[in-house]
Amino acid sequence: MLDFSIPPDVEDLRQRTVQFIRQKVMPYENDKRQYAHGASDELRRELNALARAEGLLAPHVSPEWGGQGLDHRGRAVIFEAAGYSVLGPLAMHISAPDEGNMHLLEVVARHDQKERWLRPLASGEIRSCFAMTEPHPGAGSDPSMLLTSARREGDHYIINGRKWLITGADGASVCIVMARDEDHDGKASMFLIPMDSPGIRIERVLDTLDEGFAGGHSVLLFENVRAHVSDILGEPGEGFRYAQVRLAPARLTHCMRWLGAAKRAHDIAAEYARKREGFGRKLGEHEGVGFMLADNMMDIHQSRLVIWHTAWLLDQGQKAREESSMAKVLCSEAIWRIVDRSLQTLGGMGITRDTVVSRILREARAFRIYDGPSEVHRWSLARTALRREPAG
């Protein structure tokens, strides 16, 4: 039976996280070291140091690699608490893409690869990126369209291709690259490639709606990049399978973090509605506003239940691929509604930078696109529905 109780050690960690976010991280939200393409590395390291001092850095990583080994339900609790500040996930080193990459490395990488890349990544010494998405006509939501190639020459692979919307590439130390392995019938393989390797070039950092990811989102060019056979992550030709190891949990952790941000927007709106007066009464006493706050509460509650249920499935060892798709759609759209209603409640205040709500709105809108647009997940779920025979 699904247990919604929070273990005492996780509850203690949640309380510490809440206190850390409010007392140590939120004062940095207007720090000038934040730019159109994310926080500076100086600011990231400063925030990571604060989290490290509190024992809150990368809590999802196993103790062997410096974390606390949270399961998926534990992550649901802590990641939501961290997401209450737009800088919280960055500070605690649980932001994308590093959080998902750490999970992938723990599950798939050899021990020597973990020592080389996971240990410094988990400690915040370095950042990473994950290069799968390509510009037209390459792979996007349809990974079968992958064009980046890897050709075997002796003990090396020669990699050529272009990737785009690669989060965190600018400033990353290592890139997990998906390429079509010509030595394995064109099946995808994953490679761990240092970003300073000859032939890797950041063509440009894209100007995007959001600005909350360190390093922004880049276009990467790979021109005859040499990767040693020992740099293959996992088994050759298994890249698509490993992508699911990363993507299903990563969709869910996005939901966790953004739920925290949506809760922050709602709290700001509710506080404003309690104080602001108009037409002879408090703003929140008008049904038009009060009902929006009530709808927010229901969307927050529903999202939390969806996240917890999917996390429980993952903790039971289930792949939960369909459930993670449903969670991604349900939560991303609910979170958008919560933040949009919150901004509407604030009225003119909402479109200013006097509160963090306008920033959360810009950041949260992108969530309905990355890790698969809602429409792609619906299409995939519809195919599943049509394949299944009626129960009975």
pLDDT in tens, 193-207: 999 999 999 999 999
Task: Look at residue 135 in the predicted model and tell me its pLDDT.
Answer: 96
Q: How confident is the model at residue 5 (pLDDT cuts 50, 70, 90)?
A: confident
DSSP assignment string, 15-38: HHHHHHIIIIIGGGTT-TTEETTE
Task: Look at residue 388 in the predicted model and tell me its pLDDT.
Answer: 79
The amino acid at 217: H
Whether the per-residue pLDDT at 143 is higher than 90: the answer is no
Task: Look at residue 146 in the predicted model and tell me its pLDDT.
Answer: 97
Q: Are strands 128-131 and 149-153 parallel, antiparallel or unpaired?
A: unpaired
Please state, in angstroms and rounded to a whole number, the distance separating the CA atoms of residues 23 and 328: 30
Task: Look at residue 209 in the predicted model and tell me its pLDDT.
Answer: 93
Task: Look at residue 3 in the predicted model and tell me its pLDDT.
Answer: 76
Task: Look at residue 137 in the predicted model and tell me its pLDDT.
Answer: 95
Which two tokens mark 165? 């919307």
Which two tokens mark 361? 């709105």
The amino acid at 58: A
The closest alpha carbon to 312, from 71, 77, 144, 21, belongs to: 71
Cβ 34 vs Cβ 46: under 8 Å: no
Q: Tell me the Cα Rg of the chain.
A: 21
Task: Look at residue 4 in the predicted model and tell me its pLDDT.
Answer: 80
pLDDT in tens, 281-312: 999 999 999 999 999 999 999 999 999 999 99
Cβ 73 vs Cβ 312: under 8 Å: yes
Whether the per-residue pLDDT at 389 is higher than 80: the answer is no
Whether the per-residue pLDDT at 63 is higher than 60: the answer is yes
Give me the percent of the chain exceeding a pLDDT of 90: 93
Whether the per-residue pLDDT at 147 is higher than 90: the answer is yes
Query: Does the pTM of the predicted model rise above 0.85?
Result: yes
pLDDT in tens, 164-182: 999 999 999 999 999 999 9
Q: How confident is the model at residue 1 (pLDDT cuts 50, 70, 90)?
A: low
pLDDT in tens, 205-261: 999 999 999 999 999 999 999 999 999 999 999 999 999 999 889 999 999 999 999
Whether the per-residue pLDDT at 392 is higher than 80: the answer is no
In residues, how long is the chain? Answer: 392
- Which whole-number Å values give the CA distances from 111 to 70, 116, 172, 228, 232, in the listed order? 20, 9, 21, 17, 13
Task: Look at residue 391 in the predicted model and tell me its pLDDT.
Answer: 65
Domains of the chain, first to last: 8-95 (1.10.540.10), 128-236 (2.40.110.10), 240-387 (1.20.140.10)
Q: Is 214 helix (H, G, I), strand (E, B) or coil?
A: coil
Task: Look at residue 340 in the predicted model and tell me its pLDDT.
Answer: 98
- Which whole-number Å values give the CA distances from 361 to 101, 166, 210, 300, in the listed order? 26, 22, 9, 16
